[in-house]
Structure 1
Amino acid sequence: MVRLALFISTLALASSFTAGDLVRRVEKSAPAASAEPDCQDYLLISARGTDEKQGPSFVFIDAIKETLSTVPNGAEVDVVYPATWDMQYQIGSDWIKDFLSKRVEKCPDEEYALLGYSQGAMVASGAIDSYKPDDAVGQKIKAVVMFGNPMHVSGRPGNAVDKDLRLVSDASGVATNDDAAVRKYSSEGIVLDVCLQDDYVCNKGHSKDPMAHGSYGADKGVQDLASRFLISKLSK
């Protein structure tokens, strides 16, 4: 985990101008973290990447907007966790589990999609580790979308493949972890794990572009892929 933190820190320094500029531009239009919404048909639960400010990750802004505008009666909430370089992602995973345990009791008809970018993808993976697709809470999770996942597993069901978008399935992340619960959700068609070919964080053996890890949010094809997946899983 120390190696992962050091690598991502180095990557951030190498890509500080463009990635930082992207974050600043999005933050101006991104909604601030808000109070817990009333019961909905569904919630998008978003876990941001390392060093992003509290709120929705900049790489999911367009996909979130498209999903909420297409599928009615939904809302978005942001995972509360440090998102710092020491990779305390389990704090975010525990936050999701606590949130869902209370939320399912309060809103028994509500469904959920987990969104995670970079360290936030680890947050999402750590959260569903406690569930099964057919248990009381686990069956409410209808979609999991991850970008730049450090735990990306080569060839796992749910890995996005698209030559035109330069998305690869046969990639291993810098902290690859084939968790049994995540694989179960993947096998059920619930997971979309998106890895750009040149993103070293999710494809450690083939990095060519140090900027790739921060480019998911500006890639319309990737945003459309994510929103189509979410819409298909959350439409009733």
Structure 2
Amino acid sequence: MVQIQNLALALAAGTAVSGAAIERQSACSSYTIIDTRGTGELQGPSAGFRTMNSQIQQQMSGGKVYNTMYPADFSQISTEGTNDIVDHVQSTLQSNPDECFILEGYSQGAAATTNALPKLTGASFDAVKGVFLIGNPEHRSGKACNVDTNGGDTTKNVNGLSATLGGIPDNWVSKTLDVCNYGDGVCDTTHGFGINAQHLAYPTNSNVQQMGAKFALKQLQGGN
């Protein structure tokens, strides 16, 4: 009986150790934030995520930012951006299969990111730990990932200007926060019209920046 009890204790201890090891492995030791800027922003980091990304990198080592390459012009044709996001994830995984990713997009950049999601499958889907969008023209009513700038549901059931063209795929909803400011006419056509003050307010909204940083850190640390 004593031997059986000792064996049970040993097995239990082994299970605990294995569980802890799995939990540690689920956190990302190396990660890339793919930053996709909005219409009219110059090539480089988007103003919509500078504070957020600074907070993430200060609190978690091993990170780098990749700025999506595409025109981001007023034609609103973001295909190059979508392709660049997909290509960067896939090419990075070829050289570093353990790399993790956070995707983020502002305005047209959010649309480019949304359109990349169906193309990120298999290992690419697994490697992307979180998607954080602001002012998304493809914001689609009723999605569980829809939140306002306070993390509430005042913009859960509104549509963006291009909602009929896309929207967050169902299998990505649990990995995504699609943030729409109440009255932002790009993502909330019920209460606003076009690019307005609400659409331009995300970069200086401390709630949004803190929400994004907290969400990304949780996902990178195995919260997904």
- Matched with 2:85 is 96
Q: Relative to total residues, which structure has the larger helix share, 1 or 2?
A: 2
RMSD: 2.1
Moved more, 84-93 or 176-185: 176-185
- Indicate conservation of the 8 Å contact 2:108/2:136, yes or no: yes
Provide Cα deviations, 1:51-98, integer angstroms capped at 9, x if missing partner: 100111101111110011111111111000000011121110001111
- Structure 1 Cα separation of the partners of residues 167 and 108 of structure 2: 19
1:146 partner SS: strand
2:172 partner SS: helix
- Indicate conservation of the 8 Å contact 2:132/2:212, yes or no: yes
Structure 1 position 49 matched with structure 2 position 38: yes
- Matched with 2:206 is 220
2:181 partner SS: coil
- Structure 2 Cα separation of the partners of residues 149 and 180 of structure 1: 9
- Indicate conservation of the 8 Å contact 2:150/2:207, yes or no: no
- Indicate conservation of the 8 Å contact 1:129/1:179, yes or no: no
- Matched with 1:10 is none
Within the candidate set 130, 141, 144, 1:154 is matched to 141
> Structure 1 residues 123, 163: closer, same or farther in 2, change over 3 A?
closer
Structure 1 position 199 matched with structure 2 position 178: no
Greater C-alpha radius of gyration: 2
- Matched with 2:220 is 234
> Structure 1 residues 130, 122: closer, same or farther in 2, change over 3 A?
same
Provide Cα deviations, 1:78-131, integer angstroms capped at 9, x if missing partner: 000000011121110001111122110111111001000000001101111213
- Structure 1 Cα separation of the partners of residues 92 and 70 of structure 2: 18
Within the candidate set 98, 119, 123, 1:109 is matched to 98
Deviation of 1:213 (Å): 0.4
- Structure 1 Cα separation of the partners of residues 63 and 151 of structure 2: 31
Provide Cα deviations, 1:199-230, integer angstroms capped at 9, x if missing partner: 00000121179211010010001111111100
Q: Which structure 1 residue ranges, 5 or more long, are not aligned? A: 1-39
- Indicate conservation of the 8 Å contact 1:130/1:181, yes or no: no
Structure 1 position 176 matched with structure 2 position 163: yes
- Structure 2 Cα separation of the partners of residues 127 and 164 of structure 1: 24
Deviation of 1:182 (Å): 2.3
Provide Cα deviations, 1:111-158, integer angstroms capped at 9, x if missing partner: 0010000000011011112134xx121110100000000000111021
Within a 5 Å distance, the mapping from 1:31-70 to structure 2 comes to 41-70=30-59
TM-score with structure 1 setting the length: 0.76
Provide Cα deviations, 1:179-214, integer angstroms capped at 9, x if missing partner: 48622100xx20000000010000012117921101
- Matched with 2:172 is 185
Percent of pairs with identical residues? 28
- Structure 2 Cα separation of the partners of residues 67 and 119 of structure 1: 23
- Indicate conservation of the 8 Å contact 2:31/2:63, yes or no: yes
Deviation of 1:177 (Å): 3.7
- Matched with 2:16 is none
TM-score with structure 2 setting the length: 0.80
Q: Which structure 2 residue ranges, 5 or more long, are not aligned? A: 1-28
- Structure 2 Cα separation of the partners of residues 164 and 98 of structure 1: 31
